[in-house]
Homo-oligomer: A and B are copies of this chain.
Amino acid sequence: MFKILHKNKRARRGEFVTVHGTIQTPVFMNVGTLAAIKGAVSAMDLKEIGCQVELSNTYHLHLRPGDEVIKELGGLRSFMNWDGPVLTDSGGFQVFSLAGLRKIKEEGVSFRSHIDGHEIFMGPEESMRIQSNLASTIAMAFDECVENPAPYEYVKESCARTYRWLKRCREEMERLNALPDTINKSQLLFGINQGGTYDDLRIEHMKLIAGLDLPGYAIGGLAVGESHEEMYHILDMVEPYAPEDRPRYLMGVGTPANIIESVARGIDFFDCVMASRNARHGFIFTRHGTMNMMNEKYARDTLPLDPDCRCPTCRNYTRAYIRHLFKAGEMLAMRLCVLHNLYFYNELTARIRRAIEEDRFDTFREENVEKLSRRL
């Protein structure tokens, strides 16, 4: 299913074939938490900005409109009118970050809805059933995401439990994929590596989950408190133990520089809300560095956000217009900037793919890591 087309040292140019389309890697997945991209961006728009994979959140959709409603309406892809691949997270991260008053047991987690406070129980089986109802292309394993730093003993126990949960996830998904009324009977399960910032726990856990022969592996519990250097160090430690012939997904990461540095460490899949969230606050990514569109200096600037960009926003609007829209409180400001930033991220991974294909990823990395972080 996953084929590595070319390598530059540890950087991989791959292809992941799914029932909903082939994904060219490295890939940046575009986040549509509640089956819509925040900033008034639709699935129709995603087509125009080079999105390959849409990512939605299990916890949020379970609460609103409810995964059973979505199943009845033909699954998430049909519901939001997106015909490409979709990845759903497991709900684990939100349960541990958003929801209140949680109690972890071997069976799963009890917590309160962040909307109305009602008590919900979610364990590996519940997460798989919800994701099966959503009928995503790729489902993520239900895990515990521990904030960094956390005590060694706690992380160790948590890893052991996450591994037991992973086996239950796999079993439940096999059962669900065999049911006659399951929408996507080829749903794929990705396992998630945990272990906090402890090298030995990370490595041991990765070895364990690699043994389950899953179609893909994620590295979770990073970008949750530790420094970039610690994150890169963990990637360096864990990568040799991640199956070479399976895609690797670094969850919730990150800046353009983070993505380039992680591709250099053998990562293939990314997702991050930063692209769209920053856009909604007027913070723009370009090939030359970052810009704050609230800045007075753009008030009469007739250039597009990035003169080298071919996104719908840059092909049609000036910095002066976009700054005006923000200052005037017009929602259109957010939409135009979200379109631009997502296009930028999608295009960034396309440029990374070409650089790997053409054996010049090292040069690309040198030229861009510092430049893309520069404040203009």
Contact = CB atoms under 8 A, between A and B. Distances in A.
Contacts of A318: 73, 79
Contacts of A321: 35, 73, 79-81
A317 to B, nearest CB: 6
A35 B324 contact: yes
Interface stretch (A16-24, A196-204, A252-260, A331-339): A331-339
A320 B40 contact: no
Interface in A56-75: 60, 64-65, 69, 72-73
B316 A73 contact: no
B65 A332 contact: no
Interface string A294-335: 000001101000000000100011101101110110111111
Chain copies in the assembled complex: 2
B328 A34 contact: yes
A44 interface: yes
Contacts of A50: none
24 contacts: A34-B330, A36-B325, A36-B332, A38-B331, A39-B40, A40-B40, A40-B334, A40-B335, A42-B317, A44-B312, A64-B324, A64-B327, A64-B328, A65-B299, A65-B320, A69-B299, A69-B300, A69-B324, A72-B300, A73-B302, A79-B318, A81-B316, A81-B317, A81-B321
A291 interface: no
Nearest to A80: B321
B330 A38 contact: yes
A69 B323 CA distance: 12
Contacts of A336: 42
Contacts of A237: none
A41 interface: yes
A333 B34 CA distance: 12
A238 interface: no
Contacts of A331: 38-40, 331, 334-335
A328 B327 CA distance: 26
A268 to B, nearest CB: 29
Contacts of A41: 332
B312 A69 contact: no
A37 interface: yes
B332 A44 contact: no
Given A81-B316, A321-B80, A327 B40 contact: no
Given A41-B332, A43-B316, A331-B331, 12 more contacts: A34-B324, A35-B324, A35-B325, A38-B330, A40-B40, A40-B330, A42-B317, A65-B320, A65-B328, A72-B300, A73-B302, A73-B321
Interface string A150-169: 00000000000000000000
A320 to B, nearest CB: 6
